[in-house]
Amino acid sequence: MRPYVRVVAILNQKGGCGKTTTAINLASVLARLDHPTLLVDLDPQSHCAAGLAIPEHRIDQHVGDALLSDPDAPLDATRLLWRITKGLDLLPSTMRLAGLEAARGGLAAVEDRDQRLQSVIRRLAAGPSDQPDASRYEWVVIDCPPSIGLLTYNALRAATEALIPVETSYFAMKGASKQVNTIRMLARRLGGATPYRLLATMHDASHPLAASILNEIGAQFPESMAPVVIRLDQKLREATSLGQPVIEYAPMSTGAQDYARLGTWITANPPARRAAPEHAGIAVFETPMGEADPQTDDENSPSTDAGAAAAHTGLNERPAPADAADPVLSRAAELAARVRQLVHKSETLQTRLASDPNVTPAPDILDEPKPVSPAPASPPISNERASELRSVRFVCDAPAHSRVCVAGDFNGWSPDTHPLRWNEASRCHETTVALPPGKTHYRLVVDGKWLTDERNPDTETNPFGQRNSVVIVRPSSPGMIDPTHAPGGSNA
């Protein structure tokens, strides 16, 4: 029996939606959950390598070399793969990958040009020769390029499911339908139906418009929306700039918690599986996770763009012999065809806009600007609300030369914004934080290491299987609260 490998293609043609961030951090969480994972960077921008602190000049072979290799020959994993952490390997890309899809790039000239990545994954995941039923990986995460071409076709051919990161902004919401239709159309051209999920990313829960857009996307795709939302978190950007997954850089941040929930949820909710064909080497799935594929209208249909890409890649044709035509003339004819397609698309759009009664010509709406009323100022914190805050004293017995901070719900799990100061008289580090009534989770960060407060017996398990300390502040609590002295770790 062939090993079962789940392959997730993360794709979106819109930039800035958190595609690479999701690929890196989802792969890292899966590895942390003891699922051996291969991260494949299929984006010529090579952001996965950059986001994991791998210098491009040190990359010997990249995914493009693997795609052009003999499908029946073994791959040299020592030259192709980078070990990121326990259970996580990276197959990187470089800028040279951008030329692979060109007429003379090499990939378009081979007969199985849309199945090369599937072959690469099968060979890299294969276990030792004496263990044919074993697999080196349980998961493969593919960071797709932000365009439709042979590389994207390869990703969808290899994928058992697709994940579409959607930023909770207006333009991202408008493009979500087009992106879903693009995946459906490409899957039909490849002779299947790739299951897909939409993942809300970069969500600012404090912004009313973002909340409304999130609800609208969920209403449009009720069966396809992942129940996990990736909240906007500065720690995600900081982790990327330092070449670390967020679960290593700031494990208690909101970003780390959100991706931990995503990893746990996606592993527990696979799509319906059916037997894989003999040539595939990986699992294949029967039906899309989304709603049934309706007839798409002209506005949302990606047929022009994706159809042009399919014609360009020639997935339904056999490659012509090398001497069948002049390659220069072939390239010129190809470019001329694409120009005609773009001109036709532009003319069609102009005709539709001219006949649309809801579209008004620009000169007719350029009236005198109307004065804009200033937005009401945010109300100040009331004295009653401020009076509810209670001072909580945090103490740590680390050596005097140690740097100690407290991180928790109250500061977004920042490991450096609330330092503890050394008190020579009491021979310990201490600080005081004003907290509102209710339960607060926290941990101590000693010289960069996250620790449970040993003085406080009240703890709860976090998404990573570690213990968070807990302090409970009640409105009736008088004076200073010390979680190490209060009964049960909280103030009665």
CATH code assigned at 409: 2.60.40.10
Q: Is 206 left (phi over 0), alpha (psi -120 to 50) or beta?
A: alpha
Contacts of 386 (CB under 8 A, 6+ apart): none
User: Is 284 within the bounds of a domain?
Assistant: yes
Res 183: pLDDT? 78
Distance, in Å, from the CA atom of 311 to the CA atom of 423, rounded to the nearest integer, reads: 72
The tally of domains found in the chain comes to: 2
User: Is 46 within the bounds of a domain?
Assistant: yes
User: Is 479 within the bounds of a domain?
Assistant: yes
- Domain end call among 246, 266, 293: 293
**Which domain does 42 fall in, by range?**
6-293
Going by C-alpha positions, the residue among 183, 194, 189 that lies closest to residue 301 is: 183
Residue with tokens 């959100």: 258
- Domain end call among 269, 293, 317: 293
- Domain end call among 237, 261, 293: 293
User: Is 103 within the bounds of a domain?
Assistant: yes
Which amino acid, one-letter code, is at 141? V
267 and 391 in a common domain: no
407 and 280 in a common domain: no
User: Is 307 within the bounds of a domain?
Assistant: no
Res 133: pLDDT? 66
Token representation of residue 283: 């699992």
Res 334: pLDDT? 59
238 and 96 in a common domain: yes
User: Is 372 within the bounds of a domain?
Assistant: no
- On whether the CB atoms of residues 161 and 139 are closer than 8 A, the answer is no
CATH code assigned at 23: 3.40.50.300
59 and 180 in a common domain: yes
266 and 396 in a common domain: no
The helix or strand, by DSSP H or E, that contains position 165, with its residue range, turns out to be strand 161-167
Res 378: pLDDT? 40
Token representation of residue 56: 């491009």
Q: Say if residue 353 is exposed, middle or buried (CB neighbours under 10 Å; 0-12, 13-18, 19+).
A: exposed
User: Given strand 390-396, what is the order of strands in its sheet?
Assistant: 390-396, 428-435, 421-423
Cβ contacts of 110-116, under 8 Å, gap ≥ 24 = 110/68, 110/319, 111/318, 111/319, 112/71, 113/150, 113/154, 113/313, 113/315, 113/319, 114/150, 114/153, 114/154, 114/157, 114/190, 114/313, 114/315, 115/154, 115/157, 115/158, 116/67, 116/68, 116/71, 116/154
User: Is 363 within the bounds of a domain?
Assistant: no
Res 218: pLDDT? 84
Distance, in Å, from the CA atom of 454 to the CA atom of 439, rounded to the nearest integer, reads: 18
Res 480: pLDDT? 62
- Give the angle 130-136-139 at the CA atoms, nearest 5°: 145
Average pLDDT per 10 consecutive residues for the chain, totaling 492 residues: 80 85 96 96 92 90 92 90 94 90 82 89 82 83 89 90 87 75 75 83 84 83 89 92 93 94 94 47 39 39 48 46 43 61 72 67 45 44 58 92 92 88 93 90 91 92 85 72 54 40
User: Is 333 within the bounds of a domain?
Assistant: no
